[in-house]
Amino acid sequence: MPDIRYPRAYIHAAATTRYGRHEGSSALDLMAQAANQALAQSGLQRDDIDGVLCGYATTFPHLMLADLLSEKLGLQPHYAHGMQMGGATGAAMVMLARTLLRAGTCRRILVVAGENRLTGQAVDTSIQTLAQVGEPDTEVPNGASVPAYYALLASAYMHQTGLDRETLAEFAVLMREHAASHPHAHLRDPIAVDQVLASKPIATPLNLLDCCPISDGAAALVLSADEGPVQVIGDGQAHRHQHLSAMRDVLDTGAARACARALAEAKLESQHIDYLAIYDSFTITLVMLLEELGYAPRGSAGARLRHGDFAASGELPLNTHGGLLSFGHSGVAGGLAHLVEAWTQLAGRAGERQITPRRRALVHADGGVLSAHVSLVLQAESTR
């Protein structure tokens, strides 16, 4: 058994850059900007940071990115680690940071990710790069893309559950409503269901506004064994497939398994959660995850949305920054922004965007084609 010197892990600070277009800024520049904001917010000195976890960047494929970033920031950690788990990377880094803190390997850890995916490479290059998550002998050679993989998932899921296109569009509208009040969001102009349904077809049944934008941006958190405003009290992972063609059951992708592990460790039930931060690379991603995680019956997430449950003022606020669909998707930092927002709301640091006090958040991220799943349970140390 490991020597558990520090049994708890707290998030002390969390920050994002503005998401959107950052002409002339490299992935490393954006990471440094977010990291410096988080470090300043934490009140820690650079010598206090003894661990650095850094997400990969497709526009900056350096072999030692965590070391490179540490050098740029003037840090000399005794643990540095670069990670790759697709969209689940941000949550996985926080899970690893918690493990390192609880084992006594580190005491204060910087978690950071960022990418200039919008301005740093052509859109076609981004699409081709991401498509490599597909099976190399059958899926990729036939021209599949990430939107195509998720469109196939959507078709199967809609067939089995009765989910309709209008419901998917309603979730795109909700994410835009939430992003409208966030100054760092990429897309803030309001949209309507009819606009989503009339937007450019990308891969049937998904249209342009069912898909997240490609963004530049970065996010960073500081975790510590010292008591802070928000504690990570549970985590879990699940991996049932890598490729879409190997998925056993569209109703059991692994999300519920990861969530069950996180809730069990936190000694909580799903009804104890009062804030949701759920990965939403596409509208179908968000709906499938909400339903597999148990926060709506199959085919009925739209009913909860229309009841107002997922609104910022609702029973179970969902992605109050706008999620990937509107806040923006800058690689690993896209998913990490969900964690930043969950922390910001639980810690009571959202200013004019602050929702009513919340105690516990479920953060769920996925990588690949609903392939790698990571769930985290966050708990505010007080309800202010």
pLDDT tens-place string over residues 84-120: 999 999 999 999 999 999 999 999 999 999 999 999 9
Q: Please give the pLDDT value at position 3.
A: 44
Q: Please give the pLDDT value at position 163.
A: 97
Q: Please give the pLDDT value at position 2.
A: 41
Whether the CB-CB separation of 35 and 44 falls below 8 Å is answered with no
Q: Please give the pLDDT value at position 52.
A: 98
**ω into 183 cis (within 30 of 0):** no
Distance CA 121, CA 249 (A): 35
Query: What does pTM read for this prediction?
Result: 0.95
Q: Please give the pLDDT value at position 1.
A: 38
The values of phi and psi at residue 275, to 5°, are -150, 140
**Token pair of 94 as six digits:** 């926080």
Please provide the DSSP assignment of 66-130 as one string. Answer: HHHHHHHHT---SEEEEE-BTBTHHHHHHHHHHHHHHHTS-SEEEEEEEEETTTSS-HHHHHHHH
Neighbouring CB atoms inside 10 A of 77's CB total 20
| Residues whose CB is less than 8 angstroms from the CB of residue 284 and which lie 6 or more positions away in sequence, other chains included | 150, 151, 153, 154, 157, 168, 206, 210
Q: Please give the pLDDT value at position 285.
A: 98
Whether the CB-CB separation of 245 and 149 falls below 8 Å is answered with no
Q: Please give the pLDDT value at position 147.
A: 92
| SS3 label, residue 21 | coil
Q: Please give the pLDDT value at position 133.
A: 78
| Residues whose CB is less than 8 angstroms from the CB of residue 95 and which lie 6 or more positions away in sequence, other chains included | 235, 237, 374, 376
Q: Please give the pLDDT value at position 118.
A: 95
Beta strands 9-16 and 230-239 are: antiparallel
Residue 9 C-beta-side C-alpha neighbours within 13 Å: 29
Whether the CB-CB separation of 288 and 153 falls below 8 Å is answered with yes
In the chain, which stretches have pLDDT less than 50?
1-3
Beta strands 201-203 and 216-224 are: unpaired
pLDDT in tens, 47-91: 999 999 999 999 999 999 999 999 999 999 999 999 999 999 999
Q: Please give the pLDDT value at position 134.
A: 76
Q: Please give the pLDDT value at position 292.
A: 98
Q: Please give the pLDDT value at position 86.
A: 95
